[in-house]
Each structure stands twice: as C-alpha cells, then as structure tokens.
Amino acid sequence: MNNTLGAIARSWCILDSKINSINEILDWVRERNKTIQVEIHKVTLEQCAPWFYDRSEGCIRNQNHSFFTITGYQQTMPDGTMISQPVILQEEIGYLGIICQEINGVMYFLMQAKIEPGNVNKIQISPTIQATKSNFTQIHGGHKPPYLEYFLNASEHEIVVDQIQSEQSSRFYKKRNRNIIICVEKEILVLPSHRWMTLGQIKRLMQEDNLVNMDTRTVLSCIPYSKLHLSRIELLTLADHFSNKPLFCSTFEGTEDNILPQVYQTVNNQKMFNDTQRQLVPLHALKDWGMVNGEFICKSPYSFKVIFCDIAIEGREVRHWTQPLFEATGVAVFGLICCEDNGILKFLVKSMSEIGCFDGVELGPTIQQEAVAIGGQEKNTIDSFFWERLNSGEGVIFDHYLSEEGGRFYHEQNRNVLLWVDRNKLPELPKGYFLLDYRTLNELVQVNNTLNIQLRNLLSLLEA
C-alpha cells in the first residue's frame, strides 16, 4: 500500500502524460459529445410511467418499488421555522469506483466519459464505474456496467479506498454510496468510453466548468495520504515534486497538535443534544408544495423543484427510460477558506446538520449557502468575512461552476470557491468552526460519514 500511495502522491504532480495529454482528453470529450445521441424531454407525472404518485404511501415511486422514491420531509428549526420539502429516499448503496494502475512508473486512473440525464453539458469525466445497485443487479433489464467484475472481486486487487460516504443531504434522506479505488496490476482493455489520466490531469481538468463530475471528486477526496509512511529522505524527494509547499506540509506532515478530540466533542454534542423535531410525511401533507404545470413546486421561492423526464441516451446500460429529477432553481455557493499557519496550509471547516444527514452532523466547508436561504441560517462574522473577500476578488485561488449528481439532479451547477486569506486577518472563530490541516481532514475522511460531500469535493480541487 505504501508504494501505491507514494505513486498516487507523485501522480498528483504530473500534468504531462505520454498516454493522453490534457488537450487529447478534451478533444476526446468533445468528439464523444458530438457523436452520442441524447434526448431529454420534460413530461408530466402522468406521462412518466411506470412512475406515479402512490397516495397510500404518500410518495412518488415506480411500479417495481425499486430505484428510489420521493416523499415529504418536515423539520422544525430552533427559531420555530418549519422546513417542508420533498426528499429522495434511496436506501441502496451504489458503486463509485475508480481503477488505478501504474504504467511505465506513473500512476494512472481509468476515467469514463459518462452522460447522466441531468448533466448540464452532456458528458462529464466520471469514475471507472458509477452505478446504483439497481443498475448492476440489472433490475431494470439493462446491461451490466463495464469493469463491474473488478469491483465485485475487489479483494483480488490492492484496495486503496473503500468507504461508505454520504451524498447531498439537502436533497437525499440518509443516502450513501460506496467510494472505492482499486489498484490493478494486470493489463486492462480500455474501452472507447474510458481513458487513462494522471491525478494531476484530473485536478487540472476540474478548472473546466462542469467537466469533472461530482462522483469523481468525492472518490478522489478519500485517498488516504495520511496512511503514507515515509522516511525523511523519501519525504524530501516527494516534496521536490510539489510546487505548493504549504499544501505538501499540510498533507504529509501536518501539525503535532491533536485537535481530533475537540472536533469529536463538538460534533458528538450536536448529535447527542439536538432536539430538532423531524419526520417523513406524505407529499400531500406538504402544504406549501403542489403540482403546477406538470412540476412539483413550492409556493414560495425554494432551491429546487421536482420535474419529470423522458430520457434516451445512447450507450447506457438502459437506453430509454423515464424518471423524476430535482431541478435547481438557482446556484448554491460552497466555499473553503485556506490560510498558511507556520508553513502549513489549513482549512476552515464547521460542524453542521442537514435535513438528510445520515448521522445527524458532519463537518462541512466554511460556506455552504443554498440558492434560496431557509430558516435558521443567520450570517455570522465568518460568513461576512468570506463574502467581503470573494466580492473583492482578494485571495481567490479557485472559482468555478461544478455540477452536482446528474442522475438525480437536473442542471444543478454550483459555485465552488477556494479562498486564501492571511491567518492574522481571520476573525475569531465562532463555536463549531475549526482550522484543520489536510492530514487531519484526511484522517477524518477515512471514517464514514464525517466530512460532508461539499467539503470532500472542495478538498479534491487542490493542486500540487
């Protein structure tokens, strides 16, 4: 494992590849976008068979009772505000899996050009396999996803990552997926839908709006660099590959301070003493929601609505189907403040609860602001500080639109921001905020459902 992690760390620094250059990868995506046929049409629920509203259960579901359902959710916030919205229930755990392989001394990742029905730009660079349990068990009658056998037989290969991680807890209710990376030694047949890329190339491609999908970002965020044990000479050799020295120190050395007990104390207190009243309810019990022109929408402004689509995509396991999708009605902002502290890059994170969070509370980024604010989300000094800096453009090191999960969300692209600030200018941290190095966050991500998907995605953007 140590050799594999070391090769992955070096791959983080490699932008020039003898297998596929970045321009060749972009050309490949453009060509597939031209040739693959995609047709997506909005329809009404009545036209979306086998999907229908089951009034006895209070949910939108398909006739097989498989895939996922949409039901209602209500929660009373501490300030008395009632949150009332639909949520997606999908108890099955799917694969988000990447195969990596060392080729001519360089670690590569086998990435897929995949179209999801909700993608804003058709093809996005996705994991080797991205499949729900319904897909790969062929409940819907389609073909098995390519490369599935590698993950079903993962124990035959070197397992780099195997984590059950949370999904978007503002839309899903307790949804999780299996984030897995395996290192395969034997030669692999590369299909036209897949290409080898270095980790550095994938991260550079994240600077293209909506090109690298959410599932790729979450899987890569789980790579366990904190488990890489290097001698001083090996550490210095690896450091030569990194131009971002504070990030290198943050990732492979970290601080001597053990702040984990403080983090867990805060998070566990929130889990233990949170008396928020929450419940799943029938959709028809959501008084502010209803069908308007074939869409399930909120009477007042909200971050999303439910639409129904007829979908045909060439090359998928199932080529034609219908399904509901959550359509964004605006753009959310996910922001992470970074600062250098004694030569080590640190990140400002906060403990937070979301309606669908599997274990109640996770660590999230500095800023996680939905397109439409809901009750109980008052601004504090950190929020004001972040927005002042972002609006002035001071210290912005990453600012791009990146898509959310296109299998359930329609054209949802959110603004992802990395903001560098002077440590001495950072306001006093409110309760629940922590300034943590990458190594500490990397240790925490090895524990299921500890870092939320927005934070994991932001950490995946960091370039060496």
The predicted pLDDT at position 141 comes to 58
- What pLDDT shows up at residue 376? 53
Mean per-residue pLDDT over the chain, rounded: 94
pLDDT at residue 257, as a whole number: 85
- How many Å apart are CA 328 and CA 351, to the nearest integer? 25
pLDDT of 275 > 90? The answer is no
At residue 377, the pLDDT reads 61
Question: Mean pLDDT across the stretch 233-250?
Answer: 95
User: Between residues 274 and 108, which one has the greater pLDDT?
Assistant: 108
Domains belonging to the chain, first-starting first, are 260-276+330-459 (3.90.79.40)
Which pLDDT does position 137 carry in this prediction? 65
Q: Which segment of 22-36, 128-142, 342-356 scores lowest on mean pLDDT?
A: 128-142
Pairwise CA distance, residues 125 & 123, whole Å: 7
Beta strand 333-341 pairing with 320-328: unpaired
Q: Which of 196, 65, 44 is nearest to 128 (CA)?
A: 196
Rounded to an integer, the average pLDDT of 286-293 is 96
Half-sphere exposure of 352 (CA within 13 A, CB side): 25
**Do the beta carbons of residue 134 and residue 317 sit within 8 Å?**
no
Q: Please report the pLDDT score of residue 142 as a whole number.
A: 64
Strands (E), 286-387: 289-292, 295-298, 304-313, 320-328, 333-341, 344-352, 362-364, 367-369
The reported pLDDT for the residue numbered 79 is 72
Flag the least confident range among 19-33, 273-287, 321-335, 411-425.
273-287
Residue 86: predicted pLDDT = 98
| pLDDT average, residue stretch 107-117 | 96
Confidence of residue 65 (pLDDT cuts 50, 70, 90): confident
pLDDT over 80 (residue 300): yes
d(CA 322, CA 191): 27
Q: Residue 134 pLDDT more than 70?
A: no
Per-residue tokens: 266: 């805060």
Cα–Cα distances (Å) from 23 to 27, 95, 102, 204, 351, in that order, read 6, 29, 22, 11, 40
**Which burial class, exposed, middle or buried, applies to 231 when counting CB atoms under 10 A from its CB (0-12, 13-18, 19+)?**
exposed
ω into 301 cis (within 30 of 0): no
Residue with tokens 């054209």: 411
Amino acid sitting at position 371: A
Q: Is the pLDDT of residue 136 over 90?
A: no
What is the pLDDT at residue 101?
A: 98
Give the model confidence (pLDDT) of 137-179 as tens digits: 666 556 788 999 999 999 999 999 999 999 999 999 999 999 9
Question: Each residue of 339-383: pLDDT tens digit?
Answer: 999 999 999 999 999 999 998 899 999 999 999 987 656 689 999
Convert the pLDDT of each residue in 413-460 to its tens digit.
Answer: 999 999 999 999 999 999 999 999 999 999 999 999 999 999 999 999
Of 89-93, 193-197, 254-258, 314-318, where does the model show the most confidence? 193-197
